[in-house]
C-alpha cells in the first residue's frame, strides 16, 4: 500500500486530507532539455515515481474523469483502511455513494495475490463502520498482471478466485487478523457483493486522459503543441475590456484635449484609429496566450511570465512624464524589448504583441496606469 498524508494507527478512522500545494516555483514548467540522452516516455516516467507521487498523479487523473464527483481526496496514510483516494458522488463522502481508488506502485505487475488483501480491507472497513462499501473499486497501477486482468474481466471468475484464496488454510490466509465475528461478516458481505465493482484501467488510457490536464506537461516535459492563430478583437468592446480602454481614452483626451467616452468616439478620429486598434489587437493576443497557457501548463508557468514582465515595466511606468501618452509608449517599448526567461517553456510562444498586450492586462487589473491623475 502506498502511504500519503499523516500516518494514522490501524485502529484510527481515517480522515480526508488534501494534497499539499507545492511552492509556486516548483510549478513553473521549465523548457525540456534539447540535447543529451533521449527523453523518457510518460509511461517510463511513471515507473520511477515514488509512492507519494503516484497518489498525486492518480488524484490528477481522477479529477479529469467525467464522473460527477463532489470531492476527490487523498486519504490518510497507513490507516486508510483500503482506500488511497476517495472520489465521492455526494456530500455524504464515504458515508454515501463513492468510488475507491487503490494505488499500487510496485516494480512488478500487480498480481491477484496482492489484490486480495486490499479487497478484504474494504470489506472489513464496511463491516467495522469505517466506510460504506464503494460502488466502484479501482486498482491504479503502472502494470497489471495478465492473470489479474483476466479475473477482472470476468467478475464471476474474480469472485471464485477471491474465495479460493479466502479459504486457503496456509500461513497467508486472508482475513487472518480479523476477529472471528468480523471475519464471518466480511465473508458474508463479500458473497453478497457484485464483483463487477472491481476494475483496473489500462495505464495507456489513464495517461491519455491525464494528457488533457495542465498537470501533464509539468509531469512529462516536452515541447508544447502548436499555439493556435490569434483572432482579432471583436468589433464591439467586451465587458472585460472596460478598464484598460478607459485608461487609453484618458491618454487620448489628455494629449489631444478631447472628451472621448467610448470606442465609437475613437473610431471617428483618424489620428487615433490605428493606435487604438493596435492596442486592442495586443490585448486579445495576450488573452489568447493566457488561454493557451491555461490549457497547456500549470497556472504558475504563465504567472511567472506576467510577474517578470510587470517587474520590468513598472520601473518605467513609475518615472516622471509630462503626458500619460509618453508613459504608455515607453512602457510598451520596454515590454516589446523584454525577453521571457528562456528556461520557461512558454518563452518560444510569447510574441512582442503578447508582451504589449500584457501591459494592457496589467492596466485592466489596476496594476499599471498611464495618466497618474486618472482614478482608474
Q: Which domains does the chain have, with CATH numbers?
A: 24-219 (3.40.91), 239-364 (no CATH)
Q: Which grid cell is 302?
A: 504563465
Three-state DSSP state, 106: coil
Among the listed ranges 12-16, 189-193, 202-206, which one has the minimum average pLDDT value?
Answer: 12-16
Taking residue 190's Cβ as centre, other Cβ atoms within 10 Å add up to 21
Residue 7 clears pLDDT 60, i.e. is over it = no
Amino acid 218: pLDDT? 79
Amino acid 10: pLDDT? 36
Among the listed ranges 19-33, 243-257, 318-332, which one has the minimum average pLDDT value?
Answer: 19-33
Three-state DSSP state, 69: coil
pLDDT digits (tens, 9 = 90+) for 327-352: 999 999 999 999 998 888 899 999 99
pLDDT category of residue 42 using cuts at 50, 70 and 90: confident
Amino acid 44: pLDDT? 87
- Starting at the edge strand found earlier in the chain, the sheet holding 136-140 runs 71-74, 85-88, 98-103, 136-140, 198-199
Taking residue 167's Cβ as centre, other Cβ atoms within 10 Å add up to 10
Residue 20 clears pLDDT 60, i.e. is over it = no
Spatial contact of 124 and 182, defined as CB atoms under 8 Å apart: yes
Amino acid 170: pLDDT? 67
- Higher pLDDT: 22 or 38? It is 38
Residue 61 clears pLDDT 90, i.e. is over it = yes
The torsion angles phi and psi of 198, rounded to 5 degrees, stand at -90, 140
pLDDT digits (tens, 9 = 90+) for 249-300: 999 999 999 999 999 999 888 899 999 999 999 999 999 999 999 888 888 8
How far apart are the C-alpha atoms of 360 and 366, rounded to whole Å? 10
pLDDT digits (tens, 9 = 90+) for 88-138: 999 999 999 999 999 999 989 999 999 999 999 999 999 999 999 999 999
pLDDT digits (tens, 9 = 90+) for 357-375: 999 999 999 999 999 875 5
Residues with Cβ within 8 Å of 221's Cβ and at least 6 positions away in sequence, in order, are 29, 30, 31, 32, 39, 345
Question: How far are the Cα atoms of 65, 117, 275, 277, 372 from residue 327, in angstroms, in the given order?
Answer: 48, 69, 15, 19, 10
Question: How far are the Cα atoms of 61, 68, 206, 253 from residue 90, in angstroms, in the given order?
Answer: 19, 9, 24, 56
Amino acid 331: pLDDT? 98
How far apart are the C-alpha atoms of 293 and 355, rounded to whole Å? 14
Residue 16 clears pLDDT 80, i.e. is over it = no
Amino acid 213: pLDDT? 87
pLDDT digits (tens, 9 = 90+) for 291-317: 999 888 888 889 999 999 999 999 999
pLDDT category of residue 13 using cuts at 50, 70 and 90: very low
Average pLDDT of the residues in 3-24: 35
Q: Which grid cell is 345?
A: 517553456
Amino acid 17: pLDDT? 34
Amino acid 321: pLDDT? 96
CA angle, residues 254, 257, 262, in degrees to nearest 5: 75
Amino acid 80: pLDDT? 59
pLDDT category of residue 9 using cuts at 50, 70 and 90: very low
How far apart are the C-alpha atoms of 364 and 283, rounded to whole Å? 10
pLDDT category of residue 12 using cuts at 50, 70 and 90: very low
The torsion angles phi and psi of 74, rounded to 5 degrees, stand at -75, 145
Amino acid at each position: 500500500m502506498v502511504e500519503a498524508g499523516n500516518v494514522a494507527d490501524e485502529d484510527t478512522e481515517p480522515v480526508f486530507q488534501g494534497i499539499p500545494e507545492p511552492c509556486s516555483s516548483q510549478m513553473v514548467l521549465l523548457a525540456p532539455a534539447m540535447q543529451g540522452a533521449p527523453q523518457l516516455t510518460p509511461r517510463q516516467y511513471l515507473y520511477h515515481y515514488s509512492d507519494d507521487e503516484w497518489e498525486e498523479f492518480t488524484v490528477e487523473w481522477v479529477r479529469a474523469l467525467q464522473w460527477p464527483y463532489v470531492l476527490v481526496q487523498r486519504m490518510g496514510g497507513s490507516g486508510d483502511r483500503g482506500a488511497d483516494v476517495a472520489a465521492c458522488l455526494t456530500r455524504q463522502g464515504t458515508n454515501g455513494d463513492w468510488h475507491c481508488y487503490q494505488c499500487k506502485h510496485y516494480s512488478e505487475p500487480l498480481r491477484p495475490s496482492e489484490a486480495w488483501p486490499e479487497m478484504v480491507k474494504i470489506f472489513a472497513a464496511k463491516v467495522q463502520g469505517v466506510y460504506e462499501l464503494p460502488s466502484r473499486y479501482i486498482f491504479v497501477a503502472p502494470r497489471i498482471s495478465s492473470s489479474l486482468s483476466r479475473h477482472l474481466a470476468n467478475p464471476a471468475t474474480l469472485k471464485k478466485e477471491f474465495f479460493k484464496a479466502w479459504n486457503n488454510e496456509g500461513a497467508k490466509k486472508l482475513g487472518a487478523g480479523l476477529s472471528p465475528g468480523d471475519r464471518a461478516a466480511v465473508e458474508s458481505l463479500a458473497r453478497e457483493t457484485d464483483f463487477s465493482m472491481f476494475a483496473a484501467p489500462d495505464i495507456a488510457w489513464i495517461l491519455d486522459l491525464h494528457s488533457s490536464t495542465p498537470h501533464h506537461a509539468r509531469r512529462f516535459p516536452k515541447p508544447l503543441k502548436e499555439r493556435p492563430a490569434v483572432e482579432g478583437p471583436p468589433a464591439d468592446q467586451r465587458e472585460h475590456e472596460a478598464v484598460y480602454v478607459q485608461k487609453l481614452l484618458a491618454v487620448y483626451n489628455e494629449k489631444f484635449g478631447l472628451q472621448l467616452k467610448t470606442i465609437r468616439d475613437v473610431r471617428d478620429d483618424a489620428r487615433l484609429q490605428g493606435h487604438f486598434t493596435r492596442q486592442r489587437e495586443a490585448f486579445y493576443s495576450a488573452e489568447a496566450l493566457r488561454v493557451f497557457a491555461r490549457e497547456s501548463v500549470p497556472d504558475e508557468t504563465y504567472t511567472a511570465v506576467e510577474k517578470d514582465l510587470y517587474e520590468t515595466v513598472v520601473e518605467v511606468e513609475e518615472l516622471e512624464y509630462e503626458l500619460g501618452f509618453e508613459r504608455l509608449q515607453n512602457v510598451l517599448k520596454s515590454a516589446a524589448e523584454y525577453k521571457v526567461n528562456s528556461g520557461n517553456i512558454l518563452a518560444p510562444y510569447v510574441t512582442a504583441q503578447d508582451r504589449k498586450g500584457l501591459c494592457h492586462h496589467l492596466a485592466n487589473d489596476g496594476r499599471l496606469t498611464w495618466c497618474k491623475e486618472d482614478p482608474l
